[in-house]
Every structure is written in C-alpha cells, then in structure tokens.
Chain A
Amino acid sequence: MLLLLAGCGQSQGGQSTLHPGSDGTRKIAHLFWGMLAAAAVVFAGAVVLLALSYRRRNREGIPMVENEHAVSNGLVVAFGIVIPVVCLVILFAIADIGVVKATSAPAKGQTKMNMTVIAHQWFWEVRYPGTTAATANEIHIPVKTPVNVTLKTDDVIHSFWVPELNKKVDTIPGHPNTIELYADRVGVYRGQCAEFCGLQHANMAMAVYADPPAKFKAWLANMSRPVATPTTPQAKAGEQVFLTQQCASCHTIRGTAARGTIGPDLTHLQTRNTLAALTIPNRKGYLGGWVLDPQHIKPGNKMPGLNLSGPQFQNLLSFLEGLK
C-alpha cells in the first residue's frame, strides 16, 4: 500500500522530492525508496506476528510458552537488537557516509558560478556577484552548471528549499550558509520557504529557471543593465508617480532615483512571471490589484495599499509594464 500510494505522487507543479532534477536529489530519492522497501519488510513482518497472535486468541489447548524464556528472549534479542543493529549500520554507511557527501555544500572555488540569495519576510532577493543584476523570487541558473549559493537573511530564519534540485538549508541571522544548485535538465523548479517565518510563510515561494547557457547569459546581461528611460508620456508620468508616491521608499529601480531596499528590486519587473513570491501571475490585472490592495492578496506583507487617482494608477501601471 505504501509503495502504491507513494508511487502515484508524481510531480505536478515541480516541487516533488520524488522527481529529482540533480544528482544529489536523485541519490536522496533512491535512498528513500531503499529505506521504504526495508521499512515495508519490517512492517510486513510485524503484521505477520500480529496476525499470528490473532490466530491464537482464546483457543484452548494451544501450547503456552510461559517458561520458555530462552525462546522468547531469543526472539527479542534477534529482532530487537541484532537485526536492527545490522540494518542501522548499513543505513549509516550508505546515508551518513555516502549520500551525505554527494549533497554537501561545495567547497570554496569548486563551482563555476556564485549567487547570493537573501531571504526577507516574505520574498527572496537574488543577486549575482560580479554583476549589478538583482531580481526576486525567480532565480535563473544555467543548466548543468554547479552554482554556489550563499544564503543570508535580512530578518528571521527562513529555509531555502528547491526540492528537485537540492535539500534545504536554513538562512540563519549572522551565520551565512551555502548550498549548491545544479539542474541536469532545462526547466522550472518550484521551491518554497521551509522554516516557519511568520504570517506569510505559506506565500514565500520561488522558482528556479534552469536555462540553456546562452539564454542564461542573455538574461543576466539584461538584468545587469539599468532600466531604459520610459518612452511614452504615460510611462514617464508613471515614473513620477513611482518616485513621488511611497513606492520609491521601499523599491529600487536602477537607473532612476528609486533606491528603497525594503521590497524587491523592480528594475526588470517584467522579466518575472509572477508577483509577491509566486502568489499571483504577473499580468496587468493582477499587478493593478496588487498595487491597490496588496494586503488583501497577501495579508501582513510590508507593502501598503496606495491611494492613487485613476490617472495616476493607469500611468503607474504603464510605467511598471515597461520595466523589461
């Protein structure tokens, strides 16, 4: 039953530990299936014993083993000590000596690429050292390339977890951790904060895009550029709304005067497919709803609802839609 039930759990949204996308997670998944098989044998054995005892219920004339301590004690020693010790030693050797190495953080200088992820309540800030590129929640990496990720937090403890690419590591204040991100095929891998971090712990997701190297390069080059000057009058007016209303006090748009650091960098907002850490799609209607009433969509997040006039709102949207 165990096998059957677990077997039907194939990944739908790209966040399944049983759908590995890297060597490390594949080893962990294999480890799981191995342990599950062993566990199934133990469980079946115990059920057999319980079934045997059920057959003996209330039957007269069956031999009692009251005094055969050697037999019953021997069973306890064999099943309670000897067999568990053997199994545990094997498990220890495979899991805690073998697989643990394959999933450890890479040694310094062992990887081709570095990245920094800074966790915030409740989004992921993503930076690529050596460039000015900054984004949020949607992480791009080149496929088949080990990436060394340094994990920090701006506030409380979070946990960086992209189940198909690697195990999770917490972001601890004052104690940066590292983890390797590696994807062996092109695709989108969903991840999510795995350490309880307050009101919007549930809506602190991320997506890792493993791109072909050329595509990644182009993406990174674009992300490193400051924003292009708005061309339409409406977008220009929108920029002014952004800078004069509260937006700029929290958000940075490189190439403008907006230098806020509380919320995500919005320089290339339109390169992202989602908003609010994968809570809603990044489409005009959703973006507008988010700007006007973010507390309805993600209660407790730090963005206040803006009191904008109709034209101000339209201008702002037009500006935001130009952040490519």
Chain B
Amino acid sequence: MATVTHPEALRRINRLERIWEERSGVLGWLTTTDHKRIGILYLFTSLLFFAAGGTEALLVRTQLITPNGSTLGPAAFNTTMTMHGVTMIFLFVIPISTGAFGNYLLPLMIGARDMAFPRLNAFSYWVFLGSGLFMYVGVVTGHGPNAGWFDYVPLASRTYNPGSAIDFYALGLIFNSISSTAAAINFIVTIFKLRAPGMSLNRMPLFCYAFLAVSFALVFALPALSIDCVFLELDRRLGFNFFNVGHGGNVLLWQHLFWIFGHPEVYIIILPAFGIATSIIPTFTRRRMVAFPMVALAEILVAFIGFGVWAHHMFAVGLSTITTVYFAAASMIVVIPSAIQLFAWLTTLVTGRPSFKTPLLWIIGFIVFFIIGGLSGIMFAAIPFDQQLTDTYFVVAHFHFIIFGAAVFPLLGGLYYWFPKVTGRMYHEGLGQASFWITFLGSALTFFPMHIVGLLGMPRRVYTYPANVGWHPYNLSETIGSYILAAGLVLLVVNLVWSYFRGVAAGPDPFGGATLEWSIPSPPPDYNFAVIPTISSAYPMWDPEDREHDVHKLNRGEMVLEQGHETPASTVLDGYFDEVLDMPSNSPWPVITALMITGVFAMILTGHLVAMSVFLALVAASLVGWHSVEPQEA
C-alpha cells in the first residue's frame, strides 16, 4: 500500500491501533488471542522441541557411529529413538507448520484480522505446550516412552512394558490431539469464512489450499490415533482386552488404527511445506504458479487419497495378497497428485526468471530431496520390494528425505522468507546461503547412505550392530553428516538472531511477494489491515490497481471496520461480503482451561481419580467462565 497521508486515514489507523492494542508483559502473552502472537509462541516452543528432537537424533547417530557402540545403552537408545520420532512429528513439524506458519500467515494471506476463534486458537497453543511438557516430564523422570513412535502392541502392553513410560506416550498423544483438532477446526472455519470479500475460492492462495487440506486431514485422522491410545490405556490400566490375543483381542487392530492416522499424517506433515513452496516459488521466479487449479486440486486430493493407503505400512504382517495389492495400487494413485505438484513447481521455475536467493535455495533443496524420497517411496508400492526392505534403513532414508528434506526444508526456507515480515529486518543473505548449503550437504551425507546400508540388510531401530556385516562405513558417514547438518541449522539460528538485532530494515515488501501479507508494514500492526483489502486474483500484490483502491477505501472509511474488534465474514465459495464479526480480545480462560486439562491428564497418569474429577470440574468451570464474557464493544 502506498504511504498513508490522508488525515482521515491516519485518524482511522490511530483508532484501530487503540482498539487492537495488545497488552504488554508476561500477562499479555498469557492472555493473548492475537494470531500473530500465538504464532510466535508456537514458533519458539516448537523450535525448542526441534532442538530436543535434534539432540536425540545426534545421540542416536553417535551411538551408531561404530559397531558395538556404547554411547547409549539399549534402554536409553530405545527411549531416545522413540522420543526423537514423537518429538519431531507431534511437537515440532505439526506445531511449527500449522501452529506457527499457519497461525501467523493464514489470516494475513486472506485479509483477515484474526483467526475465526481467537480464544480456541490460544487454547490450542497452551494445550500443545502442556502435552509436550507432559511427555518430557516422562523423559526426565526416567519414564520416557520407549516402544517406538509407532508403539506397537503387545510390546507396549502392560505385560511387556510395565511402568508408566507407555502411559506418558498414550495420554500425551490423546492430550496433544485435542490441540491439533482445535487448531484444525479453527483453520477450516477461518479459511472458509474469513476471507476478504472478493477472495472467492479460486482466488485463494495455494498456501491456503494446503492448509485447508491439512486441517481436514487432521480432523479425520486424529480420532483414529486417539481411539487407539484410549484402547491401549483401557487395556493397560483397567484390564480391557482390545489387543489381548488370549482374550479375543487383536494386536493388528493397533496397527490398523495407528496407520489410518499415521499415513494421512505424512501428508499432514508435508502439505504445509507444499504450501510454503507455492508461496516462495512465484515470488522468486516473478511468475504465477503454472497450472494453479491442478495444483489446488492436487493438494486436496493428496490429503484425501492419503486416507486409503494405510495398510502399505503393514505389508509384512501377513495380510492376504489381494489386500496388499489393493493398498499398493492405492499407494500408486497417490503418486499422481504429488507428481502434478512437482512438475508444476519445476515448470514454474523453468518458465520463470528465478532469482536464487536463500528462500528459493531451500525450495530447490526441497525439490531435489522430494524427488529422491518420492522415487524411493514409489519403490515401496512394489509389494515384494516393500516386504524385503521395510523396517530397514532404506525406509529410514526414504522418509527422512520426505520428512526432513521435503517437509522441513520449506519450513526453514519459510523462516527466511517471512523473517523480514515478522521482524521488520532482513536476514543476512550470504550466511543464509551458507546455512542452506551446509544443511543440504549434511542431510545428503546423513540420509543417502542409509539407502545402501538398508539394502545391505541393516534393520531399523537397532541400538548396535556387529562389525562383520559391512555396515560401518555407511554409519560413519551418516553420523558425520548429522553433525554437519546440525552445524548448518546452528548457522541458520545465528543468522536469524544476529539479523533480528542488526539486520537492515526490510520495509513492507522486500521480495515483491504476491500475497497480501506483503501489503502491510513489517512487522504487521496488531490489527493487520487498516482496510479490508480488495481482491481480484490469487496474487493480489501483483494487481497494483487493487492496492490503490485499498488506499481510496481507507481514505473514504470504507471497509475499515473501526467500531471494535471487527473482521468481515464472507460466503464460503464466492467470497461475497456476509457480515461483520466481533472478535474477542485478550482472555485468561484459554490458558486456565488448558492448565486444568493438564491437571486432568496428570491425575489420570498418576491414578488419582478423585483429583482427576476435581480437575474435570475445574475444566467445566473454566469453560463457563470462557463463555460468560461476551466480546467487548469498543
């Protein structure tokens, strides 16, 4: 937007600043419902968990650097390996992609002033924090989950795993899924109802399509995991027999339910990355995405078909051939929407005029790793090959190319890309490129040899291996690679911390970005948009006449919505203006409710059912408090 000079416009902006002003200090952060502040909270929390999960990865790699290594014993190894998986998936990738990137950016991209349910949003964050701390309390008290992130029964049953390690896992994940479900519903409603008038579905940025797909996938996938964990807890604590073969239970029930969640989970992890890629690529190629409708459809389709392929994680359990063939075919079908997106990115790059700045470099790294991981993934749709190589390091290689290479690289690229927007300062380009190359080479050195050592027969999840099987050189390379990778990430952190204090001022739109977040100052004001923007394409910043129109609207006082915490709602498909919504402001209830829920889970874990009932009553009471105070009119 051009500089605002009109006196009426300045008066309106002042009024908005007063209405939306965020409380400062710790209390302000505890009670905030501002999507940007919640996004920041999510970002720092998930990065801390990333550091924990990364440290666990380095410990695992250090244990395996030589045959018969002794850095960790078998018990510590199993906990470390389990918590690496649990942390990276539930406490890092999902929270950082949906919680941090989604929360911060989605309202900005659709021209809204907040998420649809700001208090629910705060609640999601506090529950996420509570569930993460809950599981790590288990780790530091020596009860860390230790049956793998997949937690197969009967290894996770009370018979083979007494103590509370698995209870920390099962209760922690049920707890965690409350957070993700709440966040997903919030995203769906926000995307459907809070888009700026004029942003019909076909003018919605691809980033939003990705998050829409992720949110639906979360809502439908998480119940399977939660139910699975409820069954497990009933078995473990009350002697139920869901998984007890001796009493008519079935151990494969756990696996089916787990992977009905677990495979869509893969797309939940990777779709936000696709969304980030479709944001960064157009900006740095100076060109709109090729095949926009196909890419949008593909993002939705991936999430949908992802629900029909779960049993390909179970090809070695002895399913009938006809079952495996069906799931192999379904797994092949899911390749198509991924291939569409891949070639849409490549074609956009080839037909654009790319500028290989740091954010785009991470996307290039992502594309390379996604191709490698995708190709090795297709190999697993060949049933006999899957049955030969599943549960070996070949799979570890495959999904780390996907989860680290393809899901995390765009997140890191996204950190660079939106850093100027969030902080108002530029990152250091040279250091940024160096951090990319170090991380890229470190990742290749870490994960590529895993293919070979897997082909040579090394199974997953082994805490040690003998010297005479020829696996040592590959493991050595992997461990060295992991340290290099970690060094690249440290350099990224150094760059961003340094730039936060010393970076040059970025201005509202340093890259010539295409989406609405670049239309507002950096960092964004509390109210996001002084005027609800005019939209006539999915690349609103590349429609200069619309942006001029915004200035005129502000001068005229049209769509400024300065009567309170207001944001417009629009119709689901066409994005016609529907009504003005009053949004709630700061509230202590989300954090209080989350705290009480933490109490409930802690009491279930320790078996204090009376105290648990008290906490449940307190949860109900805080929900009453939550709903008793209406949004304030200004």
* Chain A residues proximal to chain B, CB less than 8 Å: 5-6, 9-13, 15-18, 24-25, 27-28, 31-32, 35, 39, 42-43, 46-47, 49-50, 52-54, 56-59, 62, 64-66, 68-69, 71-73, 75-77, 79-81, 84-85, 88, 91-92, 94-97, 99-100, 102-104, 121, 155-157, 159, 161, 163, 167-170, 172-175, 177, 190, 192-203, 205, 278, 299-300
Contact = CB atoms under 8 A, between A and B. Distances in A.
Contacts of A43: 371-372, 375
Contacts of B285: 53
A187 to B, nearest CB: 15
A42 B375 contact: yes
9 contacts: A5-B449, A16-B456, A31-B382, A53-B285, A72-B291, A84-B336, A99-B383, A168-B390, A194-B390
Contacts of B356: 54, 57
B382 A54 contact: no
Interface in B192-234: none
B577 interface: no
Given A79-B343, A99-B382, A172-B252, 14 more contacts: A9-B470, A17-B389, A49-B346, A54-B356, A92-B381, A95-B381, A95-B383, A168-B316, A174-B250, A174-B251, A198-B78, A201-B461, A201-B462, A278-B466
B391 interface: yes
Nearest to B457: A15
Contact of A80 (B74, B339, B350, B385): B339
A16 B317 CA distance: 21
Contacts of A175: 251-252, 318
Interface in B445-492: 448-449, 451-453, 455-457, 459-466, 468-470
B74 A157 contact: no
A300 B455 contact: no
Contacts of B371: 42-43, 46
A5 B448 contact: yes
B325 A199 contact: no
A320 B392 CA distance: 36
A65 B335 CA distance: 27
B251 A172 contact: yes
Given A66-B287, A88-B378, A17 B155 contact: no
A91 B375 CA distance: 12
A31 B384 contact: yes
B457 A163 contact: yes
A31 B350 contact: no
Given A66-B288, A202-B464, A197 B457 contact: no
A9 B455 contact: yes
Contacts of B74: 199-200, 202, 299-300
B604 interface: no
A192 B461 CA distance: 12
A201 B318 CA distance: 20
Interface in B350-391: 350-356, 364, 367-368, 371-372, 375-376, 378-379, 381-385, 387-391
B155 A156 contact: yes
B287 A75 contact: no
B367 A46 contact: yes
B67 to A, nearest CB: 11
Nearest to B463: A202
Contacts of A71: 351
A167 to B, nearest CB: 4
A38 to B, nearest CB: 8
Contact of A52 (B290, B350, B456): B350
A190 B384 contact: no
B340 interface: yes
A80 to B, nearest CB: 4
Question: Which of A52, A91, A177 has the most C-beta atoms of chain B within 10 angstroms of its own C-beta?
Answer: A91
Contacts of B379: 32, 35, 39
